[in-house]
Amino acid sequence: MAMADPSRAQMTDGLGRRISYLRISVTDRCDLRCRYCMAEKMQFLPKNQVLTLEEIALLADLFVARGINKIRLTGGEPLVRRDIGDLVRRIGRHLGSGLDELTLTTNGTQLADHADMLADAGVRRINVSLDSRDPARFAHVTRGGNIAAVFAGLKAAQSAGLAIKINMVALKGINDDEILPMLRWCDAKGLDLTLIETMPLGETGEDRTDHYLPLSQVADDIRARHALTPLPDRTGGPARYHAVAGMTARLGLITPLTNNFCADCNRIRMTCEGKIFMCLGHEDHVDFKTALREGGLAAVEPLIDRALRLKPARHDFRIGTGETAPATRRHMSVTGG
């Protein structure tokens, strides 16, 4: 395991931003095909191009030694990766010893079988992507998903003691009529809700302009019924939280288009093939897999500093301004949410 170097206890990018949060995509595969995220027919990476769980664990060790104190496991759908529990437990050993939090984003379909494992490994809260509670609409958005499996996963996660935040992508003409009911449902279930603007990543076969819904408009609609009070709460990611009058549920807003949040970005992302992307909206990356397989961790360490220097000031997402091409060729499932 890499040992921490006291002279480099923190990672700072070229703009002086402290980088403390690593999102690791453990697989590009998913058991759903959400319309805003993936194409209906996806071509996934061959096994030899994907990092092994041991390689992911070694890189996580190195990043914790370099100052990362929060890790989120993502995908694709992370819980479809075979033996994912081994990786969660391995990274979880850093909790309380350099790592403050290990968490996970999931679509919930496999959660019933993994909730106890996550809790036992030290995961205390998770994000569950859920864009509709209506079975038929859920099946439409996900191209065939079974919402009953998600509800079973949520029940198992709560029974295991995991705090849950629902992530809902706001989609005009698809689920905009469900946003306030979703918030009220989350409040009744003891969950938080974060709304997300759709992002132009990868070709999905859908016209995102048709379904783009600015969260400034959504927030105004909610305020007409419930006062919103900004909160100082932060969980390490881009969401800005609000208290909702009459509710205990917090409302988070992630607004990559209407309100750029890059000035205080603290995140980098590692794909399942070992590429470090410093920004979700840029193609620039550093290849850790080749370095690791050819030269071990010693060859990877200097690449961290290179990645930090390459981190851009901001993303440049645009929808509905004459832009028809996605901001990147990568699907969200490749980089991880």
Numbered residues of the known binding site for GTP: 23, 72, 105, 165, 267-269
> What confidence tier does 328 reach under pLDDT thresholds 50, 70, 90?
very low
* pLDDT value, residue 210: 72
Rg (alpha carbons) of the chain, rounded to whole number: 19
Supply the range of the domain harboring residue 301.
6-335
Assess if residue 156 is contained within a domain: yes
- Tens of pLDDT, residue by residue over 81-96, are 999 999 999 999 999 9
Number of independent structural domains in the chain: 1
d(CA 261, CA 259): 6
Assess if residue 92 is contained within a domain: yes
Tokens 């992307």, located at residue: 277
- Tens of pLDDT, residue by residue over 141-167, are 999 999 999 999 999 999 999 999 999
Assess if residue 62 is contained within a domain: yes
Average pLDDT over residues 2-13: 60
Numbered residues of the known binding site for [4Fe-4S] cluster: 30, 34, 37, 262, 265, 279
* pLDDT value, residue 212: 86
Numbered residues of the known binding site: 23, 30, 34, 36-37, 72, 76, 105, 129, 165, 199, 262, 265, 267-269, 279
Q: What are 264's two structure tokens?
A: 């205080």
Numbered residues of the known binding site for S-adenosyl-L-methionine: 36, 76, 129, 199
Q: Are 15 and 187 spatial neighbours (Cβ–Cβ below 8 Å)? A: no
Assess if residue 61 is contained within a domain: yes
| DSSP-derived 3-state class of residue 123 | coil
> What confidence tier does 219 reach under pLDDT thresholds 50, 70, 90?
very high
Buried b (16+ CB within 10 A) or exposed e, 207-220: ebbebbbbbeebbe
Assess if residue 1 is contained within a domain: no
Identify which of 107, 217, 97, 231 has the alpha carbon closest to the alpha carbon of residue 157.
Answer: 107
Assess if residue 80 is contained within a domain: yes
- Count of helix runs (H) and strand runs (E) in the chain: 11, 14
- Tens of pLDDT, residue by residue over 23-47, are 999 999 999 999 888 888 888 999 9
Show the CA angle centred on residue 304, arms to residues 301 and 306, nearest 5°: 120
For the entire predicted model, the pTM comes to 0.86
Give the CATH number of the domain where residue 201 resides.
3.20.20.70
> What confidence tier does 134 reach under pLDDT thresholds 50, 70, 90?
very high
The residue type of 245 is: A
